[in-house]
Chain A
Amino acid sequence: MFASALRSAHMSTLREVIHESVREGELYEKLDRNWVRCFACGHCCKIPDGQPGVCKVRYNRGGTLYVPWGYVGGIQCDPIEKKPFFHAHPGALAYSFGMLGCDLHCSYCQNWVTSQALRDPAAVVGPMRVTPAELVLDAIRQGGRVIVSTYNEPLITSEWALAVFKEARAAGLVTGFVSNGNGTPKVLEYVRPWVDLYKVDLKSFDDRHYRQLGGRLQPILDTIKRLHEMGFWLEIVTLVIPGFNDSDDELTRLAEFLAGVSSDIPWHVTAFHKDYKMTDPENTCAETLMRAAEIGKRAGLRYVYAGNLPGMVGDWENTRCPNCQELLIERYGYLITGYFLAPQGCCPSCGASIPGQWDPAFRQQITARPFVPLMRSQSDLLVLDS
């Protein structure tokens, strides 16, 4: 009884903050009877007066859609390789910010403290009020060259992300979304002028799986095609979960779809570790990850990377020239251990042009954060040792 009272107290406080930190959205239309239709994500919620959308953070009050504004749920400066972007400004620090809420509810979410804050009382996080100018100043102070909307789903907080990105552009920063890809044509047109880099987490190639996570497959595939056509710099990541999405058949269909959009899209297959409510599957082993990477190559993708298991996946952390196999960028986790790409992103050996957004020269890599992913097994061992 006490615990549930505490939980509801927390939820109501959080709701109050969320309901104060809003402004009228731009991604919606008014319907009759004071209903609205939101276009921020693929759900395209029709929302009656007094209710929120599926994301719980965009809500209708008196026929006006209010959307999150003026706060962050989390900020951190990391190597851009952690996002992961491997073909955009290698070595740059990416300043990440997120708000609260998500249009999906994945049981293995690794950012569930912020994404599920309004659904799950166990997800406790304190939002901080900020202005776009303050965020950009902090990004620059910390050495960020890229600024990324991530942690929660950026599409559902696009209005705020654009306010931040307009300041960021003026300050010379590169901008990016790290997203589940559940978009609409309208939201992509809305963000296109202000978003340079776009990462989509393609979680499965099975519509039944997506419905379990709270979405549908088709809007995500449509979004991936559109992102490529519209000229965002696009990279795809798939968290490979044993027994959930790691069958040869599913991975092959997924990779063939991506190769059909463009064989130049980098595909990151990354290792799952037990999190949130998904604790049954085993953590992904290196063999499974390398099998997934092989499938990507066979499907015709030219840049396939295996992530989250540094030093355990052979050559799959590195970028090689697809034409002459020359080693172009060598990595260990998020750390760049060798950079041989010629200016303008060309292979120094055969001159082939490598797709991506490259700096004229590698500017070395600095960070206060670790260059390898936090691995549960390692931290468990540390506890045992002490």
Chain B
Amino acid sequence: MSNPLLTFWKNIFGQDADERRIRRATFRVAAHSAAEASATVFLILRRMRVPLIVLIVIFSVSVLGLTLIPGQDAEGDPMRMGFFDAFYVMSYTATTIGFGEIPYPFTYNQRMWVTISIYLTVVGWAYAIGSLLALLQDRAFRSALALQHFSRKVARLREPFLLIAGYGRTGELLGHSFDALGRRFVVLDRDNERIDGLELDSYHADVPGLTADARDPGHLAVAGLGHTCCEAVVALTDDEEANLAIVMAAALLRPDLPVIARVTSRTIAERMQAFGSPSTVNPFDRFGDHLRLALRAPASYQLLTWLESGPGAALPERGAPPRSGRWIVCGYGRLGRELTNDLRAEGLEVTVIESGSPDVENADVLVGDGSDPWVLAQADLDRAVGLVAGTDNDTTNLSLVAAARRSNPDLFLAARQNRAASAPLFAAMEIDALLVPTEVVAHEVYAQLSTPLLWRFLREMPAMGDDWAAHIVDRLRGLCGIKLQSLWKVRLTPEEAPAAEWWLTAGDAPLGDLLRNPENRDEPLHAIVLLVMRGREVTLAPDDGFVLQPGDELLVAGWAAARRALDTALLVPGVLEYLVTGARVPSSWIWRRLKPAARPTRRPDAVPGRRA
């Protein structure tokens, strides 16, 4: 496509017809929602008609009367008030300011008329102001104003943003992680208090939030579903149906967007899969997977949870769950089911305690309330190795854990925390593996969306084995201390690393040369490359001799200062030459002219014979 005219033609008319249809559809949906909001404003204007007309009529009658009634000036000669004087007197009388009788003392005729008009105008004025204030307090009017304000803010966003539908505890955690990364997001929630809470949460960036039902596609469209900068939709409401509706709306109106939804039942997850391929996060399923990983490879699990927790997270302790023996699972709900299956898949014995009559296959079942000491005694705690307190009641879970620890202090204890308010109690219990469904979902979504490379790393990492993971954890801890520093992505493309192109294309670009301090090349950079992606191939934790190629994408962990240093090396000409060769290259034009000999011969544009 070398012909510029043809390019132009293609840009205008060559767009995919399908894409345009989708754009139109989202636009229509958003327009409908916006029209609803403006309808409310029109209704308010309509309701203001009567008070305003009453006010105008009362004013005009009073003013007219005052101009018609004969008065007298200071000398006692008859005169009539002009319109301006009359309007002035009526204005300050109606607003109860009352400057007195201007320009001359009134006659009795005038005073009688003014007495009548005082009562008329004050009532008319109070009526108009009162109606206006009442309308401003009107719920419908306020929500219409909020909707307009919100849609304006969203429409003005010019950087990629995330659409979070459902701002509960999970949404808040996710929001804070994303805010720490400097990413923008837009929030929809049905609860007014949650949206009001947005202003109290100390976010760096302005977060547009709207109190609205996310099941309505119009609200999603107003929140930026049709916006070109929208990069993903996350459905985090506590209502399974609502999440399904959000996934449906996103898949039908913007099939190109990634969608992540929280689910707790397999049925809904499968119904969601019918719409494109949304990524579903089931906290119970994920906790089961994590527990299996923790059983098999404690260090891998430790690395996974640390990286998932986002920047600033403290290094979690490396647990050592028992790999053989009998486990007791209290509560056979959604979590109990997943865990029983997962534990049994690991070849462990499982005893289930459930108050109902669960249909458990091939397992020990104790029917009874787990918090009942007698029932717990039946479960033979002394010979068990682990206990899962997985009911949906925090009090029950806590008392289960306490009772179990008293009868067998060596038990490995896993518990489910349902409410955020119980967090200090569970922390005080020092539980070996704590499931907080909201946190599991938030971490998972963060890992998937923060950078695709992190998600890839976390998925590939368990295959490398436990020793490898322990080694990576040690390296990271040596570098960052016990708090995780930033994680970022570096793309070695001509656009994002212009100063490194010559080095990469030369074919001999070991990673170790890049990870040096630009101030002093003998010092290493405080960063670790966790992953290199080339095309679809990935290399985990490459060593210093790894040869980079143009187009590689790197996932780097380290200090913010290292990030700046690396950016300098990749963007500023000459810095990388110092890192590679050790020779300081002048960067200004004049010094380059004066010292041409300092040019390295490896640089492709350096002509060897050109010496002044």
A, B bound: no
Q: Could you list which residues of chain A lie within 8 angstroms of chain B, going by C-beta atoms?
A: none
Q: Could you list which residues of chain B lie within 8 angstroms of chain A, going by C-beta atoms?
A: none
